[in-house]
């Protein structure tokens, strides 16, 4: 991945009640990756104990036994996500739950980014509108 052909990079921090983890979200993530819509750059899950301490496991080792479970995420480590990020996210969730941290590239945008840059365009800002804000705006339109 070079600067010229990289799509936008995003991250997600997702609090997951450990008793409700069923693999459905993970299957959707693998599907997005397999279809080339996103490229996972970092993927870590931190399990937060009742005392607030946490154990981080790579997304490749889903059950925490030290063995590779998801080959599709093997070697996923960009350096964009560090131990401080994991600790900060673990501190935001309820004890007994898990937090998944995912840094990903929106690979669907690569051709657009490349074409625009080849013609002299510079990307000067990027952002994300929170889903709650979008839902409120759409609700207001439908009222």
* pLDDT of 75 above 60: no
Element (H, E) at 134: helix 131-142
Task: Write down the pLDDT at residue 7.
Answer: 77
* pLDDT of 94 above 50: yes
DSSP-derived secondary structure letter, 93: S
pLDDT band at 68 (very low <50, low <70, confident <90, very high): very low
Whether 11 and 103 have beta carbons less than 8 Å apart is answered as: yes
């Amino acid at each position: 991945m070079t600067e010229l052909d990289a799509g936008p990079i995003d991250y997600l921090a997702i609090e997951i009640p450990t008793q409700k983890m069923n693999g459905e979200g993970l299957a959707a993530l693998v599907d997005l990756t397999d279809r080339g819509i996103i490229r996972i750059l970092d993927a870590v899950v931190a399990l937060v104990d009742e005392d607030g301490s946490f154990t981080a496991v790579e997304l490749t080792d889903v059950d925490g036994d030290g063995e590779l479970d998801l080959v599709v995420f093997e070697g996923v480590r960009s350096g964009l996500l560090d131990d401080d990020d994991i600790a900060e996210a673990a501190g935001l969730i309820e004890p007994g739950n898990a937090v998944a941290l995912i840094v990903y590239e929106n690979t669907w945008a690569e051709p657009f980014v490349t074409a625009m840059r080849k013609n002299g365009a510079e990307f000067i800002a990027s952002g994300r509108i929170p889903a709650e804000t979008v839902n409120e705006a759409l609700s207001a339109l439908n009222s």
